[in-house]
Amino acid sequence: MSAFRSDLDLEVYDVTGNGVQVDVATNALNGTVRLAVLFTQEILLSADDAERVAQSLLRAAAHARRFEPETDPEP
């Protein structure tokens, strides 16, 4: 039985459609955070490092949104 508890609200897959999924889980025993790219690799992070990764992902998402086409607001 794993000590890690996955975030069940997170459902993120690789954009190429190859079935690779991102999983974020917290170790119920020591509080470390696991960021895993399922079926390939994983990394264990401290709580502070997990927060840094989250902030980096937020910055990357904000940057990526600049490349999305603008949509017309509905009337």
In a domain, residue 72? The reply is: no
Contacts 24+ apart (CB under 8 A), 19-25: 24/50
Alpha-carbon span 12 to 29, nearest angstrom: 25
In a domain, residue 49? The reply is: yes
Candidates 2, 50, 60, 56; CA nearest to 24 is 50
In a domain, residue 59? The reply is: yes
In a domain, residue 50? The reply is: yes
Q: Is the dihedral of CA 74, 68, 19, 11 positive or negative?
A: negative
In a domain, residue 58? The reply is: yes
In a domain, residue 23? The reply is: yes
pLDDT for residue 34 = 85
Q: What is the domain range of residue 33? A: 4-65
pLDDT digits (tens, 9 = 90+) for 1-26: 788 988 888 888 888 878 888 889 88
The structural domain count of the chain equals 1
pLDDT at 44 over 80: no
pLDDT for residue 67 = 76
β-bridge pairing 21-27 and 4-6: antiparallel
In a domain, residue 74? The reply is: no
pLDDT digits (tens, 9 = 90+) for 29-39: 888 888 888 87
In a domain, residue 8? The reply is: yes
pLDDT for residue 73 = 67
CB 34 within 8 A of CB 27: yes
Q: pTM to 2 decimals?
A: 0.62
